[in-house]
Structure 1
Amino acid sequence: MGFKSNYQGGTSIESPEALLLDLRNRKIEGLLSHQADVLRVYQGKMNVPDVAMELPTGSGKTLIGILIGEYRRRMQHERVVYLCPTKQLVHQVVEEAKNKYDIHPIAFTGSHRKYNPLDKAAYRDGEAIAVTTYSSLFNSGPFFDNPNFIILDDAHAAENYLVKFWSMQVNRFEHGNLYHQLLETFKHSMPLEQYQRMKSDSATPDDKGWVEKLPTPKFAQLIPQVIPLLDEATPGIDGLKYDWRVLRNHLRACHVYVSWNEILIRPIIPPSTTFIPFSSAKQRLYLSATLGSGGELERITGRRNIERIKAPEGWDKHGIGRRLFFFPETSGIKEESGQVMVNLVKESPRALLLVKDDSSEKYLMEWFNTNTDRTVFLAEDIERTKHTFTSHTNAVAILANRYDGINLAGDECRLEVMWGLPSASNLQERFLESRMSAQLLLRERIRTRLVQAIGRCTRSATDYSVVCIYGEDLSNRLLQHENLKLYHPELQAELSFGREESKQANSVEDFLDMYRIFLKQNSPEWRAADQQIIVRRQGAKQAPDPNIDVLEKAVSFELSYQEAMWSGDYERALENANRVTSLLSGDALKGYRGFWYYLAGCAAWYASQSNENFKAIAQQRFNQAANCTSSVPWLRKLVEFDSLGHVEDQDPYTPVLIERLEFELNKMGTTNDRKFENRVNEILSGLADQTDSKRFERAHVDLGRLLGYNADNTDEDGGPDPWWIVGDFCLTAEDYTETDGKKPISLYKVRQANDHPTWISKKVPGISENTEFVRVIISPSNSVESAAVTIARDVAYWNQESFVKWAHESIAVIRRLRLDFPGEGDEMWREKAIIAYRENGMDPLSIKERLKMSPISSLTILG
């Protein structure tokens, strides 16, 4: 006979810790001591609106979150939503909760129209926790419209999911017609050179990496054109029509960023207080292995006053698992460094490759498919479950821009490869980093992403994996002293050990030997090595940047600024932006301070539309912004300088050259001199060659590119030899070097030089009617035909020997600048580089003045 009684009396469970004891079918004995400690601290914060828990990987984060959710569901009859970044993690959390903890949540993925009616009723009636993705909550018509308690797992990853709800991303390839219509609408609000970059179908890597921001006052004037355009275009585009509904009435609170790949419209910070399903919950609980500091969680979520529960005592020295780092590009094997990854993958049944972008993913996928017998898995292949990958014995998973959301524990994967730096994840971040030099703000975000990425294959205290690092920019972010000290002592020790061992590796086989020893965790060889890491750990100390505290104090005013802008209260927005700038003092925060001066100017400019008194304040703030950065020339053009006694900067070119120099230095890397010195040798030896004109021209082009100019060449008759362009400056050259110098420069050569501007204007994108052409002939000849002088139109002469000497001096300047190059976006380094360019005659205005003193008529005239 079955049980018949149906007693419904009330129950009282005093804590989540006590609840676990009643879950009789759980597969764990009980809580670990640190888990119990965290839960007891949480007991005192049950009614705090926003609580964050820092729980290192492997410390039982899922158990803590799901147990608290179940306790609140049972005892407070709350509707509980547990948010995960990906569908794969949704199913992983549900499976773990059921099989390990005897808690039975329900997975909700896909369209809410296809949710099971019984599952929907169970959630609404508070009978089960709903586990779903961030995007299931943050959309214009969520099923989860009134949760009482929200758990945000991997909260550090929440920004892209939150801000996507308040963002419109118009992709060049997915929304081609709309992208180009918007580009045409914005054409006259950006420099012509930038417009041409975006317009071109054959963009260079530098062009693709460039991001421009539409100045807010110019965008505001275009809003009457933008609204009808997007009203008409978006209804037929599923993804964009919902985004447009959210932003349409708040465009004045948004910013527009333009790149070759996409156009992004978004506010600075997600105005999450305006989204009722999120803001009306009784509590939001943020779970993360790395919460970050400096107010980052508040900026990510748009929530203020988030109370933090720190990592359990003792975790400040001890990390999770063991990682053995390889840095093949810093070893002595040079060109064979890539083979290390290939051979390691061959040694491993499964390997995880984390790459920074889609192009890297495509390249590696094609390479593995063509050159190996490996089965390649991409993100969509393991979205529902990772089982197909983890059960395979000859597989490699390649994931682009996915530094979290995949957990591979134990023997599921022992080899992880990181290919490139996971830096800016959206155009706003790229603008702040590359144009406004707000490195300090983004350094913490990037550090968090790196820590998360490194831990993908070490999920418990006894877990272990090799992490193989590729990319100079990534190596710098991990190994440079000012970056290394920011990490946990355990990770510092692992990185230092890996760097030293990699430097001493002289062959691919050396790395394979270390890998094989590492896999034998109980071997005497590895035990001795592990002891070295432990000793290093004891001497390491994590030292956050002292400016982090300033950023933390500023974040409350940043959120108030965003709220005021969203509601159209521009005077209050200006007041809060002023509070932010008053806090952001010091050189390290100069770039970010400049950005907030600009935002203050935008708020004042909007306020001036109804009150003229704010016009002078807008001018002052824009001028202060321009004084904080040399890399955004249009900032000065926002100011009416006459009334303030200023004159516009006469050199808008050099800051652009320095940004492009950064791109070149990043591409070659700074931890290893080989690529740089090989390139320099090619340039200088090519320029000294008087027998091979094509080699000279190739070197001439590459010298220009190294210095930051947009340099190129053509084989067409009548075209210039190399040309160097930046902004509205164009240096066009006729290289006449295949001579001993005794022949005079001919009429033909001068005629060609005369015609270069006409050819370039017709053939080269980005040339405006305002472009200033400087014509020059480079040659060892010291004489010129008299007829040539007669027709010469401001043609200058540059002696080849003198030009080569100038190239040597210029490269010496680059070499010195490279020694202390800290990475992209450091304003102090940029200012130093600008001064060096001007002092050494490498900037356009100096070159122009130099050549002005050396007309072709100054040579000996023959005939």
Structure 2
Amino acid sequence: MVLELSSYFDNQEKDKHDSNYYSWRNIQDHLAACNIYLSEGQIVIAPLIPPTNMLDNFNKAKQRIYLTATPGKDGVLEKAFGVENIERISLPNKGLPSIGRRFFAFPDLWYPEENSDENFFCSILKKVARGVVLVKRDQDENSVASVIKKSLPEIKIFSGKTIQDEMSAFSSSEFGIAILANRYDGVDFPNDVSHLLLVKDLPVYQNLAERFFMSRLKAAPLYDDLVKNRIMQAVGRCTRSANDSAIVVIEGRDLQRVLTVKDKLKLFPPELRAELIIGNAVGEQSKGYQSFIENSELILHPEDDDWKSIDDAIIQQRSEFQKEEQNLPEKSSNLAQIAKLEVRFQRYMWSENYEQAEGVCQAIAEKVTDNLLQGVQYYWRYIFASVQLRKYSEGSIERRKPISDLQVLRREANNLTWFQALDGVTSTSIPEADTSQDDIAIMVDNIEKYILNNFDNGVSNSKRFKKIGQQFQNLEKGIKTAKGVGFEKAVERLGKVLGFESGNPNGEGQPDAWWKLNSDSIVVTEEKVYESNEHEIPIHDVRESIAHPGWIKRFLDLPKHKINIINVFISNSSKINNAAKLEADGIYFLKRDDLVTFAVKALATMKEICISYNGEGDVKWHQSAIDKIMRSNFTPNEVKRLMTSNRLNNLKS
């Protein structure tokens, strides 16, 4: 990859040089100090922390001043600027500015259908004349502008690219919106400039590095401080002083989850936390969509008794949270100390001082003691071994020591699937019990994807729980009563819900549902529901089943090693034709009633797992799900036992 990138940029015409060209020139001689992050649509090569100490204009400055309203406590500022020590000068408490009052509205939580085409925002906009929209990307700026323009043709659109130059024109416009892409901060709309803000689909995690630590290492708490700061900056664009007020509309799954889940709400200061909880409660208690709009508009009429009741509720809730904070012991976090070491590590790696980098790396791993950051500790142990391997490549140490460290890490980190890739480096022999946990960790990753795709689409918890219950009830009904294609689809869906890769080709001569249990075993099925439970399974149905292992080998992407294909005939009948029995060798049999019993018990466990889900990056949920499945009836080994408990040719004629 390095040679290809070098060749690509070396041969690039000078007038076509882009930002990537200059970025590559800066890092090409320091790739050992960089990480490579890959996703389906993007490759990022970058150091974990910017090596600003290598820039003379920055490093040799006599004084550096950082201005921010949200400096954070977990080393966010130090890592952002690549500086080990930043002295904080804080305002005295009595000098802290007030942020005014905000009413938070979550239309997609309570009225997603009515809020299509930004109907809620447009309804409020008609009352306030000017609004502000924060979106994710430039494309989103154009699409949101198009949607709003369609509903409100007379609206004047101001672009985020030019709004700072056009602020006076926007402030005096009779009917306009400013749409800003990928901006959490930097532009303010105080006083009467705007009393309406839409924060739409802003990413909680902004780049592949953050996504990697959150989704692959399950280390969301690492970014709690950063996420809190970003959101506080975003929702405060229209409330910059004590007298400001605004309706803040929140849309987008990630934002809604952070701003409504109890554990995440604790990140925020009492005032903001109270505003979020009361705003969400008003939405839940509103008697219909129109009532929801009217309740949200009350903040525009501060003398209204109904608004005073809402404001009083916010103040009371804020006071309760303040008392809670006073009574709680101060939360200690060593993330700020770790951040200083991370900056130092980056500096040593950039200057190829691997001896010093190794020592700092080990110190970081030792300091990460929080169980919620287990993945971060594993990461730094991995980096420690990587630095040692680099020293080995230079001939200064033997290879045995880093490989041994990686083998130990591989065994300990078997709850996180990313570390399973170390098998290719270490040739680690994993005990069977640990291999089983490897399989289940993969299942939990798949279950999390299923939850995100099916249940975590921005609806309220009560609606989400109801949707989970309904979907599992329908699935259970399909397993019990469906026939033909309906039954085949139900069996396929059951496999997906339980965390297995599954499919249903549904073509002539092709198998019915198949489940890939792990890298060693695949279950492939022929499913027949006859009119009578006494119907003898005929020879032509058995012959269909015989061909299924061959189809699996031909059309599925199988591992290079030999894989066990378990061929299963599922039916409501437990009788077989004599001629068919002679050709049923090698085919297992599962009675539909036994599949129903299995599914009912498995789905009860899955319902618990899905309902307890609190969002990506939660290592507690991840480990809890692994533990529940380890004790369940649908581990890969248990499913194999179920599927191979009877042979088709053992049935009575």
TM-score by length of 1: 0.67
Tell me, in whole angstroms, the C-alpha distance in 2 between the residues paired with 1:774 and 1:386. Answer: 68
SS of the equivalent of 1:412 reads: coil
Deviation readout 1:501-532 (Å, 9 max, x if unpaired): 22211211112211332111233332343233
Aligned to 2:622: 830
Aligned to 1:445: 226
1:388 deviates by 6.3
SS of the equivalent of 1:310 reads: coil
Tell me, in whole angstroms, the C-alpha distance in 1 between the residues paired with 2:141 and 2:525. Answer: 40
1:657 aligned residue (419, 422, 443): 443
- Between 658-667 and 382-391, report the one with greater CA deviation: 382-391
1:308 deviates by 0.5
1:704 aligned residue (492, 495, 499): 495
2:366 aligned residue (560, 574, 582): 582
1:783 aligned residue (554, 572, 575): 575
Correspondence 1:241 to 2:21: yes
1:295 deviates by 1.0
Residues 468 and 611 in structure 2, CA contact (< 8 A), matched pair in contact too: no
2:386 alignment partner AA: C
Aligned to 1:126: none
Residues 690 and 738 in structure 1, CA contact (< 8 A), matched pair in contact too: no
- Between 527-536 and 224-233, report the one with greater CA deviation: 224-233
Tell me, in whole angstroms, the C-alpha distance in 1 between the residues paired with 2:383 and 2:450. Answer: 31
Q: How does 1:769-780 map to 2 (within 5 A)?
A: 769-770=560-561, 772-780=564-572
Tell me, in whole angstroms, the C-alpha distance in 1 between the residues paired with 2:272 and 2:237. Answer: 14
Residues 351 and 396 in structure 1, CA contact (< 8 A), matched pair in contact too: yes
Deviation readout 1:429-452 (Å, 9 max, x if unpaired): 111101111121112211111111
SS of the equivalent of 1:284 reads: coil
5+ residue gaps, structure 2, are: none
Q: CA 1:685 to 1:839, structure 2 compared with 1: closer, same or farther past 3 Å?
A: same
SS of the equivalent of 1:605 reads: helix
Residues 357 and 401 in structure 1, CA contact (< 8 A), matched pair in contact too: yes
Correspondence 1:465 to 2:217: no
Tell me, in whole angstroms, the C-alpha distance in 1 between the residues paired with 2:588 and 2:12. Answer: 52
Tell me, in whole angstroms, the C-alpha distance in 2 between the residues paired with 1:822 and 1:733. Answer: 35
Tell me, in whole angstroms, the C-alpha distance in 1 between the residues paired with 2:180 and 2:648. Answer: 58
Higher relative contact order (CA 8 A, sep 6+): 2
Deviation readout 1:364-395 (Å, 9 max, x if unpaired): 55654556536666644647645665555555
Tell me, in whole angstroms, the C-alpha distance in 1 between the residues paired with 2:541 and 2:151. Answer: 50
The count of corresponding residues between Structure 1 and Structure 2 is 635
1:602 aligned residue (380, 386, 404): 386
Q: CA 1:650 to 1:500, structure 2 compared with 1: closer, same or farther past 3 Å?
A: closer
Deviation readout 1:707-765 (Å, 9 max, x if unpaired): 3333343342223333334763543333323644333334333333343354455555x
2:348 aligned residue (551, 557, 564): 564
Residues 84 and 341 in structure 2, CA contact (< 8 A), matched pair in contact too: no
2:438 alignment partner AA: P
SS of the equivalent of 2:461 reads: coil
Aligned to 1:41: none
Aligned to 1:807: 599
Q: How does 1:292-691 map to 2 (within 5 A)?
A: 292-314=72-94, 319-331=98-110, 335-336=113-114, 340-341=120-121, 343-345=123-125, 347-356=127-136, 364=144, 367-368=147-148, 373=153, 379-380=160-161, 382=163, 385-386=166-167, 393-397=174-178, 399-420=180-201, 422-471=203-252, 473-541=254-322, 549-609=333-393, 610-613=395-398, 615-621=400-406, 623-624=408-409, 627-628=412-413, 629-632=415-418, 633-641=420-428, 649-650=435-436, 652-667=438-453, 668-669=455-456, 671-672=461-462, 673-691=465-483
Q: CA 1:660 to 1:488, structure 2 compared with 1: closer, same or farther past 3 Å?
A: same
5+ residue gaps, structure 1, are: 1-181, 183-222
Residues 817 and 833 in structure 1, CA contact (< 8 A), matched pair in contact too: yes
Residues 594 and 625 in structure 1, CA contact (< 8 A), matched pair in contact too: no
Tell me, in whole angstroms, the C-alpha distance in 2 between the residues paired with 1:730 and 1:421. Answer: 40
Residues 354 and 391 in structure 2, CA contact (< 8 A), matched pair in contact too: yes
SS of the equivalent of 1:307 reads: coil
Residues 468 and 610 in structure 2, CA contact (< 8 A), matched pair in contact too: no
Tell me, in whole angstroms, the C-alpha distance in 1 between the residues paired with 2:12 and 2:269. Answer: 49
Residues 601 and 619 in structure 1, CA contact (< 8 A), matched pair in contact too: no
Q: CA 1:340 to 1:839, structure 2 compared with 1: closer, same or farther past 3 Å?
A: same
Q: How does 1:85-234 map to 2 (within 5 A)?
A: 223=2, 227-228=6-7, 231-232=10-11
- Aligned Cα RMSD in Å? 3.3
Q: CA 1:297 to 1:615, structure 2 compared with 1: closer, same or farther past 3 Å?
A: farther
Tell me, in whole angstroms, the C-alpha distance in 2 between the residues paired with 1:705 and 1:363. Answer: 34
2:31 aligned residue (218, 231, 251): 251
Tell me, in whole angstroms, the C-alpha distance in 2 between the residues paired with 1:807 and 1:564. Answer: 55
SS of the equivalent of 2:544 reads: helix
Residues 473 and 666 in structure 1, CA contact (< 8 A), matched pair in contact too: no
Q: CA 1:803 to 1:329, structure 2 compared with 1: closer, same or farther past 3 Å?
A: farther
SS of the equivalent of 1:402 reads: coil
Residues 594 and 626 in structure 1, CA contact (< 8 A), matched pair in contact too: no
SS of the equivalent of 1:521 reads: coil
1:637 deviates by 4.4
1:324 deviates by 0.5
Q: CA 1:390 to 1:856, structure 2 compared with 1: closer, same or farther past 3 Å?
A: farther
SS of the equivalent of 1:294 reads: coil
Aligned to 2:646: 854
